[in-house]
Chain A
Amino acid sequence: MKKFVLLLSLVMITLISNTLIVKAEDYQNYQEIVFDSNNAQLLKDYSDSEISDLTKKIRGRKFIGWKLDILQDEEEVEFISETKLKIYNNGYSTIKHDITLETKEETKFQLSASGGIKISGKGDIKKFKGSIDANIKASVSYTNTKLSKETYKFKIVVDPMTYVKIVTRGKGIINNGIGKYYFFWVNTKSGGWETFTVTTEYYEIIKEKIR
């Protein structure tokens, strides 16, 4: 029986000791995003009727193409993201655990859209679908935010019946707005768009007992 428990503990330690890689997450799921400016807000915080009213205010028509209006221009935000990872030690021995934190470009730069505006993308590189992407790039600066994939490794001691979690806070830039598409001077679709760029991330370690 003792051998079986020992073997089980070894298997558990081996299983949880594999290097964990932090996955990218959607900024809209962050615990908190707070604007420096009191008047600024996220695209998702506008109601459908507000978006509709704002869209109606876009003046003039176009033969073919998008007409845009910017609601938030380079607004600075602070955020608390979800917990990046949790490592549990359910065993009876202290373990040394290798953690790999990997921040991908898709985490650093994210997009969202609503209504008739869509997002397309292959792999890590996302963009707004169609010609609106170029219009937005011309209106707000989001092309020079390309960042390398960053990988950090560190080793941590996790006591029995304890878990470690990594939490991220940070600063970022939000641009958002609305757009109307015209085809032969007729408005055929409209919607909202938003870009989110992480400028700095601050990491925190928390160890707690498993209850």
Chain B
Amino acid sequence: MRKVFSFIVIGFIVVGFLLIYYIEEPITQVNILSIDKHYTRLITTDEETLSIPLYFSSDKSFLTEASAIDSCFFKNDYNRFQVDISEIRYGEAYYDNDQLFYLYLFDISFNSLSIDLIDIEEATFEINYLNGDTLNLSIGDIFLRFSEITTGLDIDIYRMYTVVNSTDEIDYVCGLVIGLENLSNKDIYINSIEIGSSLVMVDLGNVVTVNEPPRYNESIENILLEEYDFLKSDFDETPYLVANELIFVPFGYFETLIELKRFPIYIEYTDNNNDYEYLIDDFVFISENYSLEAYNGQLQEYIYYY
């Protein structure tokens, strides 16, 4: 009898240890990090998505399950657009101040929208869950245009890259090196070049021809051979005559310098008194890095309590 009793006690102890070891503590809160980024994209197909990176302190929460989401919106004080979650992809685990975070990429599709543009400064990503809870996460500025890229035009690019300068806080695109070719036998004038964002302007009035292609980190003063102020409120849009040469076009920023990595190019030009637009799909000029250290100063933290 004593043996049976001992076995039972030992069994309880073993089962107790196993339960302590295997049963995880219930989640009581999830910390969420979002990044204020600058999204400017040309969405060319219904299948194309925009990936929003979000970091969660737990990888076992319903917050990262697409099936738990009822609806999503991109919004600010003036606009609110309903968008769809195409997929939520797990990325990688990162540490921020010794706390572990799991990166999830929320791939957003826009099938239910029938508009040409989304223009939202200081956007909030609203996620409504089936349990009635809502997350409102700051994600930065969103400029989307829905259109096919254009073909069969009289101009084409033959070279394109960005030049990046640095301040103590930020690496920023100071201009675009672009080679434009006139494929016709008529004069073609570029009236404007845009990157889709209303916060950044391509300063066509200060375009210079570059005989020697500048390095990717050449200082703008070396290229323009004069001082250049990036923070401007107005730009001179002098038409540029396409001359099959490599040019440097400086960028101007309306309020503050913005970290641009990927953007489209929209070129408006006149050919024989007719106006055309040449759309170049958003290109990754500078590679993305999802490590949290890279987003120092752009991170917002939220806490979801169960």
Answer whether residue A159 sits at the interface, using C-beta atoms and an 8 A cutoff.
Answer: yes
B287–A205 touching, CB < 8 Å? no
Q: How far is the CB of A203 from chain B (nearest CB, A)?
A: 6
B156–A207 touching, CB < 8 Å? yes
Answer whether residue A1 sits at the interface, using C-beta atoms and an 8 A cutoff.
Answer: no
The number of chain B residues touching the other chain, given as a range, is 35 or more
Residues of A within 8 A of B151 (CB): 94, 96, 157
| Stretch in A118-126, A128-136, A146-154, A181-189 with 4+ CB within 8 Å of B | A146-154
Residues of B within 8 A of A206 (CB): 158-159
B161–A203 touching, CB < 8 Å? yes
Question: Pick the contact of B156 from A96, A144, A157, A198 — CB < 8 Å?
Answer: A157
Q: Is the interface of A mostly helix, strand, loop or mixed?
A: strand
B284–A200 touching, CB < 8 Å? no
Answer whether residue B164 sits at the interface, using C-beta atoms and an 8 A cutoff.
Answer: yes
Answer whether residue B92 sits at the interface, using C-beta atoms and an 8 A cutoff.
Answer: yes
Answer whether residue A201 sits at the interface, using C-beta atoms and an 8 A cutoff.
Answer: yes
A203–B286 touching, CB < 8 Å? yes
Question: Pick the contact of B283 from A78, A147, A154 — CB < 8 Å?
Answer: A154
* Distance between Cα atoms of A199 and B48 in the complex (Å): 28
B159–A204 touching, CB < 8 Å? yes
A204–B160 touching, CB < 8 Å? yes
Residues of B within 8 A of A152 (CB): 262, 284, 288
A-B contacts, CB under 8 A, total:
80
A203–B283 touching, CB < 8 Å? yes
Question: Pick the contact of B158 from A148, A199, A207 — CB < 8 Å?
Answer: A207
Answer whether residue B70 sits at the interface, using C-beta atoms and an 8 A cutoff.
Answer: no
Across the interface, name the chain B residue whose C-beta is closest to A168. B287
Across the interface, name the chain A residue whose C-beta is closest to B287. A201
Answer whether residue A103 sits at the interface, using C-beta atoms and an 8 A cutoff.
Answer: yes
Residues of B within 8 A of A169 (CB): 216
Q: How far is the CB of B210 from chain A (nearest CB, A)?
A: 14
* Distance between Cα atoms of A156 and B162 in the complex (Å): 18
Known: A169-B216, A207-B156. A202 touches B282 (CB 8 A): no
B286–A155 touching, CB < 8 Å? no
A154–B287 touching, CB < 8 Å? no
B281–A156 touching, CB < 8 Å? yes
A154–B161 touching, CB < 8 Å? no
Residues of B within 8 A of A199 (CB): 289
Q: How far is the CB of B201 from chain A (nearest CB, A)?
A: 22
Answer whether residue B297 sits at the interface, using C-beta atoms and an 8 A cutoff.
Answer: no
Q: How far is the CB of A44 from chain B (nearest CB, A)?
A: 24
18 A-B pairs (CB sep. < 8 Å) = A96-B149, A103-B287, A146-B92, A146-B94, A148-B103, A152-B262, A152-B284, A154-B281, A155-B149, A156-B280, A157-B149, A202-B287, A203-B286, A203-B287, A205-B159, A205-B161, A206-B159, A208-B158
Task: Rank and list the top 6 A-B pairs by shortest CB-CB distance, nearest first.
Answer: A204-B161, A201-B287, A148-B92, A152-B284, A148-B91, A154-B281
